[in-house]
Structure 1
Amino acid sequence: MAAVKQQQEPGGGRRGAGRTVATWGCAALLAGTSAVTAFRVADADGPTPVPQLLAFLPWLLVPAGLGLLCALPARRPALAVWGAGLTALLAWYTAAPGAVRAAEGVPAAEGAPSAELRVLTANLQFGQAADALVDLVRREEPDLVFVQECDPACVRELAGALAATHPHHHAVEARGPAGSVILSRRPLTPAAGVPAEMGQPGAFVEADGHRVRLQLAHPSPPTPGRLAAWRTELDGLRRWARAQGARGPAAREGGAAAEDTPVILAGDFNASRDHAAFRRLLDDGDLADAAALAGAARATSWPVTGGPAPGVQIDHVLVSAGFAARDARFLEMEGSDHRALLVTLALRR
């Protein structure tokens, strides 16, 4: 009877084996993708390699979609439902305006603008893009420039080349990627920066009668073996931001917030909005992501490879309540693996 059945169904064994392979392949794709997505749902970053994969969360749609597609010929309804649900969840996290707005934690500013600032942040990759940044600043004419990975020689080069337009600067001078500087058209008053392995200078600037607090951000990257430093330094920025705003010590002791100093926190955060540590910085610090407010929440800032490699937005300009943002643009700089971010901010009463 078995021989007769094989004659009646030629290739039946091969088809069955093919469906088994498809089933296991589909399950492996969906299980791996679900494991990473579960940390996003749980509002946690997890151990290596989860934080590294969470940075590229929109690209997880690829294995989730493949898992869904291979579930169909495998004739496994449960796997198909699993793949469809996972794909829908990832698509929601990637594109839903509600998810983006919920992560900001700051309502849109209202009222007539009383000051306007054009802010540029740029990672120069060990100073290699210094010349490109000079050209970019001369062309775009920002009011404030937050520069990361700029050693003392790079700081001197920028200060000399931009002396006519941006004569004021405050730097943390250090070798390699640890050096950083804030350049300004307007006078700067140095302020205590947030401690980190890489330089994070702070300052105050006057903008049309408003005193604005500036802080450069450049926490350690979440590479294997460096996750503890990454979490600690992002948490340091969160605690600093919380201390500046309505949730800070003055507000808690007085029972009501006095008029807060507006805050601009900008730089290479080595974190995207899909990292729980970054979302806590936004929420607990009462900050908004200017690129998201301007409609560019998913624009890529790193890595710039010239090819189809996946990208992520880890360079940000964060602002306190009272700021509105528009014209967020990510601009390439020759010599850097980051795009610079230029955004126009309006401070409203």
Structure 2
Amino acid sequence: MTAVTTELSEDRIERPVRRRRTPVTVLCWLAVLPAAGWAVLRLAGLERGPLVQAFAFTPYVAAGALAPLVLALALRRRGPAVVAALAALALAGVVVPRALDADEPAVDGPTVRVLTANLLLGQADPGALVDLVRTRRVDVLAVQEFTPQAAATLDRLGLATLLPYRELAAEPGATGSGLYARFPLSDTGARRNQGFAFRQAYGTVAVPGAPPVRVESAHPASPYEVRVVPDWFTDLRAQPPATPHGPLSVLAGDFNATLDHAPLRALIATGYADAADATGRGLVGTWGPYDGDPIPPVTIDHVLADRRIAVRAVSVHPLPGSDHRAVLAELRLPAAR
């Protein structure tokens, strides 16, 4: 009788313990699965609909993915801990390299400094932009959301003297584009994207001592809401690919995409290098809170350089009046043969 009583007592103790463990395990899985799902979708390049906007914040998700891992380890839940660790490692694997320098090609040609700036409907401070061009000795300037009034004011403040060669497609509102250069331009023009009808000025820059370099001021559509995501895909897929066995090319502008967006990665894979990523500056924000909006900074402005071009340095600069920051890339070109 004593043995039976003891067995019943032990059974009553084990059942409440199991019942207490189950809700805790469920809680762990609920904490782990969002980061794990995000990692799977990011690695597979499956951003669709509202995920297009959300994926811009992947670096923040990667940092936050450590929290469910710590929780699962603290609560000694092996299954959730393993999944959380895999998710954290996967997200770190795609984010951390942006903070590290990459190997660069060995080139011995001249240096050219390329600056890109979104002027926010032409409202950016023109004096600040001209000062930036002057003090940073900019050789090529790509501008987006470029209006006729901005063009006139920039010239009046001295940009015409600093960068006398240009291809301008200024328009009221957000669709205008411009390309300025210290050196002669040829084969110039401005094409219009199909999505939001943004213009993209382009031209071939004759840098002394280097092969010709084609530069385009990029500005694909913004995925600001779900219904325009198809326009975003259309414009990004229409960006000019690199020509690894042809002329050198550079795309500089507001791409409305980060390195966590598959269409931008596909464009880079044609033979470009993201200048900021190559120099360990790939996590520096270029759009977000700069005009007062409570948005964490994200990196959507880029200079994409042909992989035969070495990236020496990248810096990001405030541009008063704009919701973007200007991106300056110092590029070392191959020598002319």
Which segment is superposed worse, 121-130 or 269-278? 121-130
Letter aligned with residue 83 of structure 1: A
Per-residue CA deviations over 1:22-55 (Å, capped at 9, x if unaligned) read 544432332222222212221x242122222221
Cα RMSD after superposing both structures: 2.8
Q: Distance in 2 between matches of 1:80 and 1:322?
A: 43
Letter aligned with residue 119 of structure 2: L
Distance apart, 1:184 and its partner CA: 1.6
1:315-330 superposed matches below 5 A: 315-330=301-316
Return closer, same or farther for 1:111/1:165 CA change in 2, 3 Å cut-off. Answer: closer
Distance apart, 1:178 and its partner CA: 0.9
- Give the 3-state SS of the residue equivalent to 2:212 in structure 1: strand
Distance apart, 1:99 and its partner CA: 9.9
Q: Distance in 1 between matches of 2:124 and 2:29?
A: 45
Q: Distance in 1 between matches of 2:96 and 2:255?
A: 21
Choose which of 192, 195, 208 in structure 1 pairs with 2:192.
195
Letter aligned with residue 55 of structure 2: L
Q: Does residue 16 of structure 1 match 2:25?
A: no
For 1:226, the equivalent position in structure 2 comes to: 228
For 1:334, the equivalent position in structure 2 comes to: 320
Q: How many residues are treated as equivalent by the alignment?
A: 316
Per-residue CA deviations over 1:113-149 (Å, capped at 9, x if unaligned) read x222111011122222132212222222201111111
Choose which of 101, 105, 108 in structure 2 pairs with 1:109.
105
Distance apart, 1:98 and its partner CA: 11
Identity %: 33
Choose which of 172, 175, 180 in structure 2 pairs with 1:175.
172
- Check the 8 A contact 1:294/1:326 in 2, yes or no: yes
Structure 1 segments of 4+ aligned residues over 6 angstroms from their partners: 97-100
Structure with higher Rg: it is 2
Which segment is superposed worse, 291-300 or 70-79? 70-79
Distance apart, 1:343 and its partner CA: 1.3
Q: Distance in 2 between matches of 1:62 and 1:322?
A: 33
- Check the 8 A contact 2:97/2:280 in 1, yes or no: no
Letter aligned with residue 40 of structure 1: R
Q: Does residue 118 of structure 1 match 2:103?
A: no
For 2:280, the equivalent position in structure 1 comes to: 295
Is there any run of 5+ residues in structure 1 with no aligned partner, and where? 102-106, 247-256
Is there any run of 5+ residues in structure 2 with no aligned partner, and where? none
Distance apart, 1:228 and its partner CA: 0.8
Q: Distance in 2 between matches of 1:199 and 1:216?
A: 9
- Check the 8 A contact 1:118/1:344 in 2, yes or no: yes
Choose which of 240, 246, 252 in structure 2 pairs with 1:266.
252
1:250-289 superposed matches below 5 A: 257=245, 260-284=246-270, 286-289=271-274
Q: Distance in 1 between matches of 2:215 and 2:328?
A: 16
Instruction: Name the TM-score, length of structure 1 as normaliser.
Output: 0.81
Q: Distance in 2 between matches of 1:321 and 1:61?
A: 28
1:130-141 superposed matches below 5 A: 130-131=125-126, 132-141=128-137
Letter aligned with residue 174 of structure 2: P
For 1:47, the equivalent position in structure 2 comes to: 48
Letter aligned with residue 262 of structure 2: A
